Homo-oligomer: A and B are copies of this chain.
Amino acid sequence: MAASWSELMLSKLVGRCNNFFQPGSSRAMCKPFMVGDQQVGWVWPGVEKHIQRFPDVFMVEDKQVSLCPSLQMYEERTARVQEVMVKLREEGEFIALKGWRDEMYEVFHQRSSPPVFRMERTATALLGVKQYGVHVNGYVEHPQKGPLMWIGRRAKNKSTYPGKLDQVTAGGFTAGLTAQEVLVKECAEEANIPQDIALTAQPAGAISYFYEDERGLFPEIQFVFDLKLPLDFQPVNTDGEVSEFYLWDMDKVKEQIAQPDFKPNCAMVVLDFLIRHGHIHPDQEPRYLQFLENLHKTLF
């Protein structure tokens, strides 16, 4: 039983969350996407074919695809890339662009330096650009039952992973916001957590992984926060994105994250929590180091 949980969990981490690194992925066919002399993404052949029609925005070469060197300024790069993406969206070729959100994400060389341009969130998958987000483990310390965790079920009408299990709240990094601002905003919208409680959340690291699916490439980094909620607090969804909340003990949570019902990257966030809080022991879990390796992939 224990072995079977370990293998299910590992297979999710390797085969879903990090399938870009697996044999048979599109990796060997992708070209690095460069801004200046630094890689900021990956371009797969299906995208390359289309963006080479815009040679004053994208320069397609044998070994790489670059943003045209003539585009030097943040606003100009943003405007020209956006024109291309709007055009591609109208042409209707790409599944990713059908989920257009009118939400801008920033593209960085390093997150410690200013962004080099910004682009529509759903279009990042076409250029294999890193996406950043904030995930919150909402838990309570029950005097009798021990630690319990709040788990949300995504609404059936969400465009991605409808009906799957998820953190109590999580959100992507809209351009210009800090991690704390994303956290406070998502706590309010997704679970009705008041700001004074949200601000007690403790940063606890980040996970990084790289998957691909029919929409494109997803190199992602999620900043992880632990939020201890009051015993009597009941999360309530206010934006229609969550259909239900459950309060489960750690055994139940652990069992569930290995199942197909749990959104893969959210399962990783919980796994990281379980490891950090001592709920998984290296002497009892044969896949301990492989779990950690897959929670912390170097993306590019």
- Chain A residues with CB under 8 Å of chain B are 110-112, 178-180, 202-206, 208, 221, 223, 226, 275-278, 280-283, 286-290, 292-293, 295-298
Contact = CB atoms under 8 A, between A and B. Distances in A.
Given A179-B282, A204-B278, 19 more contacts: A112-B287, A112-B289, A112-B290, A179-B283, A180-B281, A180-B283, A202-B278, A203-B278, A203-B281, A205-B275, A205-B276, A206-B282, A206-B289, A208-B292, A221-B289, A226-B278, A276-B276, A293-B296, A298-B298
Contact of A283 (B178, B206, B276): B178
Contacts of A292: 205-206, 208, 296
A221 B110 CA distance: 26
Contact of A286 (B112, B180, B297): B112
Contacts of A295: 296
Q: Closest 3 CB pairs between A and B?
A: A296-B296, A202-B278, A112-B286
Contacts of A288: 111, 206
A76 B275 CA distance: 37
Contact of A298 (B282, B287, B297): B297
A186 B101 CA distance: 55
A94 to B, nearest CB: 29
B290 A110 contact: yes
A287 B292 CA distance: 21
Q: Please report whether the interface of chain A is mostly helix, strand, loop or mixed according to DSSP.
A: mixed
Nearest to A6: B112
A298 B290 contact: no
A9 B289 CA distance: 25
Nearest to A283: B178
Nearest to A21: B298
Given A289-B111, A297-B298, A298-B293, A204 B283 contact: no
A182 to B, nearest CB: 10
6 contacts: A110-B289, A202-B278, A203-B282, A206-B289, A223-B282, A298-B298
Contacts of A297: 298
Among A179, A208, A289, A293: residue with most chain B CB under 10 A:
A289
A204 B275 contact: yes
A209 to B, nearest CB: 12
A226 B277 CA distance: 9
Contacts of A289: 110-112, 206, 221
A11 to B, nearest CB: 14
Nearest to A221: B289
A246 to B, nearest CB: 25
A45 to B, nearest CB: 27
A298 B206 CA distance: 16
